[in-house]
């Protein structure tokens, strides 16, 4: 891992869970890390629920769009986080993988669950996430 860790968040449609993870990670990490998201079968648009859930905690993800991951991202990633793409998710030997089983729930509940996982991931990478955006 370089001085600036790189994380790739993957799911199927790349419109909800992986976009929320990317938004939270980018918010907490700032320029101390690099992150991307991608999908195995990218959808047409971001989930309206995911956009609203993130906006509710002051994070705007509307500049993103569903997309497939790239080979360059796979090669650069220190950690690949998969969220439900199963066998469609790529595997790169020697890369650290985490499979996050996110509870099917309203977007706000998923956001809160992902927030905790993103914060734990950051700590494992030696990055202090700072105060959580999630109240409570």
Q: Is 20 tagged catalytic?
A: no
Give yes or no: 92 in active site: no
**Pair of tokens at residue 85:** 């793409």
Note whether 53 and 110 are within 8 A (CB): yes
Catalytic residue flag (residue 89)? yes
Active-site residue, from 10, 53, 79, 89: 89
Active site residue: 6, 8, 11, 20, which one? Answer: 11
Q: Which residues contact 50 (CB under 8 A, 6 or more apart)?
A: 15, 16, 17, 19, 20, 61, 107, 110, 111
Q: 49, exposed or middle or buried, with CB in 10 Å at 0-12, 13-18, 19+?
A: middle
Instruction: Out of 24, 54, 85, 118, pick the active-site residue.
Output: 85
Two tokens, residue 114: 């992902």
Which structure tokens are listed for 74? 């796979």
Token pair for 32: 């101390």
User: Among all residues, which ones are annotated catalytic?
Assistant: 11, 85, 89
């Amino acid at each position: 891992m370089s001085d600036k860790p790189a994380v790739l968040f993957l799911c199927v449609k790349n419109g909800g869970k992986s976009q929320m993870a990317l938004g939270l990670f980018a918010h907490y990490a700032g320029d101390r890390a690099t992150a991307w998201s991608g999908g195995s079968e990218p959808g047409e648009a971001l989930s309206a629920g995911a956009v609203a859930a993130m906006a509710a905690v002051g994070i705007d993800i509307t500049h993103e769009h569903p997309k497939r991951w790239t080979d360059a991202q796979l090669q650069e990633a220190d950690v690949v986080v998969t969220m439900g793409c199963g066998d469609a998710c790529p595997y790169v030997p020697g890369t650290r993988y985490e499979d996050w089983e996110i509870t099917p729930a309203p977007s706000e509940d998923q956001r809160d669950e992902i927030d905790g996982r993103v914060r734990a991931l950051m700590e494992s990478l030696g990055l202090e996430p700072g105060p959580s955006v999630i109240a409570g």
